[in-house]
């Protein structure tokens, strides 16, 4: 299944589970937003509770991956089974829905991001709490280590320069001009600024064509590295970079889940301020 599908391609997946994965950094109640209007038949996935855990300490970042059993239980409760096709959407161009898609694709499940999200839907929205889906069997699977990067592996790239670190946050957070909610400002040393939002055409609010995405990532150095790691603030928006690379026909980058929220919480880890070197 391709990593990104258009609104017109929804008809090609009539049995797909449509997942609403809206979430807001400012604390807006995403569940309330969902109940105020969502795609017909869509289920609500809570990023904080279904796609992350809070039980792992500050250096694990704000959104560590849940244990495999907990993730399997969450998916099962939402009517997502081993053979389900999942198409996820949000209202930010893929910033949060990409997290669910990447997690499922890592485990070999069929999942894709709805290009442009709910903003592409021109039909009537459904309101209310949604239906309670039938629980399906979702087999717990260990997170594949070859798709993830540890803090030490990130440090090795930062120190040696052998490899490529892509920071998916906005430029002002990368440079340290805006700290927002990370413990310290700046970025991981040697990282390149690669805002996830640059994958999206501001006019259409959809991902850029594959050729443009491929050129963008190759300009960042992806074609010259066999060790590409992407991160963001907490391992969420960086997933949009992973999907964009796959859409471009490039090997997916590894995800540093703890990202800068975890890195900057460790006083022994250095940070850099200002533009990239």
Catalytic residue among 101, 103, 112, 232: 232
Contact 4, 115 (CB under 8 A): yes
Beta strand 43-44 with 85-89 is unpaired
- The region that residue 28 occupies, defined by phi over 0 for left and psi between -120 and 50 for alpha, beta otherwise, is beta
Q: How far is it, in rounded angstroms, from Cα 159 to Cα 148?
A: 19
Can you list the alpha helix ranges (DSSP code H) found in 92-237?
Answer: 97-106, 151-160, 171-175, 210-219
Residue 262 belongs to what H/E stretch? helix 259-263
* Distance from the Cα of residue 107 to its chain's centroid: 15
**Side-chain half-sphere exposure of 53, counting CA atoms within 13 A:** 13
- Residues in Cβ contact with 137 at an 8 Å cutoff, skipping those fewer than 6 apart: 76, 81, 82
Residue 247 gets the label, from left (phi > 0), alpha (psi -120 to 50) or beta, of alpha
Q: Identify the three-state secondary structure at position 272.
A: strand
Please say if 141 is a catalytic residue: no
DSSP assignment string, 189-204: TTPEE--GGGGB-TTT
Chain centroid to CA 39: how far? Answer: 20
Q: Return the active site residues.
A: 232
């Amino acid at each position: 299944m391709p990593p990104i599908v258009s609104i017109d391609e929804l008809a090609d997946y009539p049995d797909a589970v449509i997942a609403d994965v809206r979430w807001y950094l400012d604390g807006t109640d995403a569940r309330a937003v969902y109940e105020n209007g969502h795609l017909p038949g869509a289920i609500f996935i809570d990023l904080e509770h279904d796609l992350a855990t809070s039980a792992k300490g500050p250096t694990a970042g704000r959104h560590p991956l849940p244990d495999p059993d907990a993730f399997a239980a969450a998916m099962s409760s939402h009517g997502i089974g081993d053979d389900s096709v999942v198409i996820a959407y949000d209202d930010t161009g893929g910033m949060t829905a990409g997290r669910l898609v990447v997690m499922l694709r890592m485990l070999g499940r069929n999942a894709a991001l709805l290009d442009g999200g709910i903003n592409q839907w021109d039909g009537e929205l459904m309101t209310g709490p949604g239906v309670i889906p039938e629980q399906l069997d979702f087999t717990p699977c260990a997170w594949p280590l070859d798709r993830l990067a540890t803090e030490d592996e990130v440090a090795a790239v930062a120190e040696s320069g052998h490899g490529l670190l892509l920071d998916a946050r906005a430029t002002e957070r990368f440079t340290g001009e805006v700290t927002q909610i990370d413990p310290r400002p700046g970025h991981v040393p040697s990282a390149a600024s690669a805002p996830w939002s640059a994958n999206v055409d501001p006019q259409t609010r959809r991902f850029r064509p594959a050729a443009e995405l491929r050129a963008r990532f190759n300009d960042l150095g992806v074609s010259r590295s066999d060790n590409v790691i992407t991160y963001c603030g907490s391992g969420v928006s960086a997933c949009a970079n992973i999907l964009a690379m796959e859409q471009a026909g490039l090997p997916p980058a590894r995800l540093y889940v703890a990202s800068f929220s975890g890195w900057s919480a460790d006083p022994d880890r250095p940070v850099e301020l200002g533009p990239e070197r």
